[in-house]
Amino acid sequence: MTPVIRFYSIQDAYGEFSNFAPYPILLDKKRWPTSEHYFQAQKFLDANVQERIRSASTPLLAARLGRDRKQRLRADWESVKVSVMRRAVEAKFRQHDDLAVLLLSTADARIVEHTDADAFWGDAGDGSGRNMLGRILMDIRTILQTERRK
């Protein structure tokens, strides 16, 4: 049977896979404290709002700012959010080799963001969620496996 790796809290096993884990990334010529900061900031086209989110002191605060609907969400967000997440997560694993090694160590395990707080990026707690973050992680793992086999 395929093993399953469930992650969520950054304090627990495989917490490094969470976007809240403290692994800065360089993207769009800027340094982002976490992939969560980058993802949340891309919801907005206003450079000032993006900058406020980039400067947030914690990923939780960045997420709160990104979820604040007083700010106007970019019109195409629903159609671009998965590719934005993929870009952020790929940057994180390419820019931190220790993370790439950890991801590769999971071999062919199914990776699941396990939380009842999120039915899109996570599994909704009962497996009914889409687990999009887990899927992105597994896609990036496949790319890294292929590259490192060459």
Ligand X SMILES: Nc1nc(O)c(N)c(N[C@@H]2O[C@H](COP(=O)(O)O)[C@@H](O)[C@H]2O)n1
Please report how close the Cβ of residue 9 comes to ligand X at its closest, in angstroms: 8
Query: Which among 46-54, 63-71, 101-109, 135-143 is the span making contact with ligand X, rule CB under 6 A?
Result: 63-71
- CA dihedral (140, 143, 147, 150) in degrees, to 10, reads 140
**67 belongs to the binding site for ligand X (CB under 6 A):** yes
**66 belongs to the binding site for ligand X (CB under 6 A):** yes
Query: Which among 25-33, 62-70, 98-106, 139-147 is the span making contact with ligand X, rule CB under 6 A?
Result: 62-70
**7 belongs to the binding site for ligand X (CB under 6 A):** no
Please report how close the Cβ of residue 1 comes to ligand X at its closest, in angstroms: 26
**19 belongs to the binding site for ligand X (CB under 6 A):** yes
**121 belongs to the binding site for ligand X (CB under 6 A):** yes
Query: Which among 23-31, 98-106, 117-125, 135-143 is the span making contact with ligand X, rule CB under 6 A?
Result: 117-125
